[in-house]
Chains A and B, each alone.
Chain A
Amino acid sequence: MSALVFLEGRNDELSLQAVTLAESLGGEVAAVEIGGPYAPSAWAQAIVEAAGDADIVGPGSDRGNEVLAHVAAQLDVPLAANVTEVRGGEVTRVRWGGTLLEEARIHADRRLLTAAPFAFEASNSLLQAERLAPELDGAVRVVEHVAPDTGGKVSLADAKVVVSGGRGVGSAEGFAILEELAALLDAAVGCSRVVTSAGWRPHTDQVGQTGTKVSPDLYIACGISGATQHIAGCKGAKKLLAINADPEATIFAHADYAVIGDLHEIVPAISAELRKVQAT
């Protein structure tokens, strides 16, 4: 049995993680990339044709999950989305954005899988990816791309550091001290769902299961309790620093570093210290 991996890009991190998942299946691994405008049904059809009867694996990104769902619908076979481990016909897969796992059995003669983000190391095998150029015919496709005006600020998804605030920030105005710290670190400002629901910040700033999923080198969680909805969005961070007044807050169970106390005193103190260090 062999596997075909759909790559979103040759150096795309989540795609290389999907290659590692495919390699863990034990058979031959081949890879495809797809050129031209994004058209999920046509892309899926090209993958189905290239795969023969092989297993099909994709990255656990929005696009990876979408393309593989089209593949699954075209083949009428089960798709196990966001798997963390495969044992023959059984998989472990992610639920609730990763705060819960499910062990499941696939009842089909082939496996369709996407790799849960950051469950696998990126593969460094030098796979030769075949580039497919599917016929689009009347397929639904992207007709236009709109880029937001970020005002020159680093985006949440790309930031090396994210300074994020939760209910503990207290108000929209309270985010000024987080903005100040973020500017010193060239960081993006994020927030929890409570904050967007209260209207303190726009939804585009929301980190979480139904917001943006981030993977910075450092995530600074200020006044965030650590609900599963939020953890699902920041567990890709390499390191997490939690600042919280409640020493029993759930966030500390997910943190690498903890500062206990009032963020309204601590965050400005960190900014002042950074300025001191940066001045020397």
Chain B
Amino acid sequence: MRILVCVKRVPITGGRMVLTDDAQAIQTRHLGFTISPHEECGVEEAVRIVEAQGGEVTVLTLGPAEAEEQIRDCMAIGADRGIHLVSGEEWDAQATAAAIVDAIRAEEPFDLLVFGNESADAGNYQVGIRVAYALGLPVVTGLKGLSVEGGRARCEQEVPGGRDVYDVPLPALVTVKEGLNLPRYPSVPAKLRAKGKPLDSRPVERPASRLEKLRLVVPEGAGKQAEILGEGAAAAPRVVEVMQELGVA
């Protein structure tokens, strides 16, 4: 089983977003970086499948030179090798999908391609689907359950009121959501081994954006003035009054 997982380096944001002076990005000087929780579950799932059935997990990212840190993190979870398309700029969804498709075509075919359902930052909800169309693969999104057996994938998609189930032949592309599994915490030896795993890095040139980011804006309204109902247990009667006013108690 050859599995590809696509991940994206994103900052670990706290409670407040501060923008750079040109409003093109979040100020990240004091922030750490990670990948989206969806993608973390994607890596974990791929590693579990290969642990059970044999094969190889490849991790691919399109991002700045520093994104090697995220590829090594994925290798510490158990990915075997990495492909790093290096670009310091932000790409729109169509260009991202096209670059990933080019990279995949240069590889031996994969049986399963795994993406996060949407990136934590841009949230375009489409890169995986566009890649599937370009490669002519079946695609199922938003998975909370996946089992791969006998050349087919049984996919459980979370929907209001339960899960919709799909059954698709491999090769296939899936996008996953947090909750699919509980990703392992990498051990120190696993982190050390990750440093020596093969990584293929190459620069890529960003084409013109068809959904062109002009600027980022911190939304108003976050600075609400809350009505203070009181301090400690003494506030309880006032809280219940408010609940009655709202018609919920």
Contacts and interface: CB of A to CB of B under 8 A. Distances in A.
Interface of A: 38, 40-41, 62-63, 65-66, 69-70, 72-74, 76-82, 90, 92, 94-108, 114, 140-148, 155, 157, 160-161, 184-185, 193, 199, 203-204, 206, 209-211, 217-218, 225-229, 238-239, 241-242, 250, 252-262, 265-266, 268-270, 272-274, 277-278
Contacts of A105: 211-212, 214
Query: What is the interface of chain B mostly: helix, strand, loop, or mixed?
Result: mixed
Contacts of B133: 70, 73-74
Interface of B: 13-17, 26, 36-38, 92-94, 117-118, 120-126, 129-130, 132-133, 138-142, 156-168, 177-179, 182, 208-219, 222-224, 226-237, 239-240, 242-244, 246-249
B14 A228 contact: yes
A99 B235 contact: no
Contacts of A255: 224, 226
Contacts of B218: 100-101
Contact of B222 (A81, A94, A253): A253
Contact of B126 (A69, A102, A225, A238): A69
B219 A273 contact: no
B229 A258 contact: yes
A144 B167 CA distance: 9
Given A140-B139, A217-B246, A242 B125 contact: no
B124 A92 contact: no
Contact of A277 (B126, B157, B240, B242): B240
A266 B233 contact: yes
B166 A142 contact: yes
Query: What is the interface of chain A mostly: helix, strand, loop, or mixed?
Result: mixed
Given A140-B168, A257-B226, A241 B242 contact: yes
A74 B130 CA distance: 8
A188 to B, nearest CB: 12
Contact of B15 (A228, A238, A258): A228
Which A-B residue pairs are the 4 nearest by beta carbons? A250-B15, A203-B179, A269-B233, A69-B126
A250 B223 CA distance: 9
Given A82-B123, A225-B15, A259 B229 contact: yes
A77 to B, nearest CB: 7
A227 B14 contact: yes
B187 to A, nearest CB: 18
A92 B220 CA distance: 13
A250 B16 contact: yes
Nearest to B215: A103
15 contacts: A74-B133, A78-B92, A95-B216, A100-B216, A101-B216, A103-B214, A142-B164, A143-B167, A210-B38, A228-B14, A239-B246, A270-B236, A273-B236, A273-B239, A277-B240
Contact of B210 (A90, A106, A114): A106
Contacts of A70: 129, 133
Contact of B224 (A40, A103, A256): A256
Contacts of A143: 165-167
A278 B236 CA distance: 14
Contacts of B141: 40, 62, 66
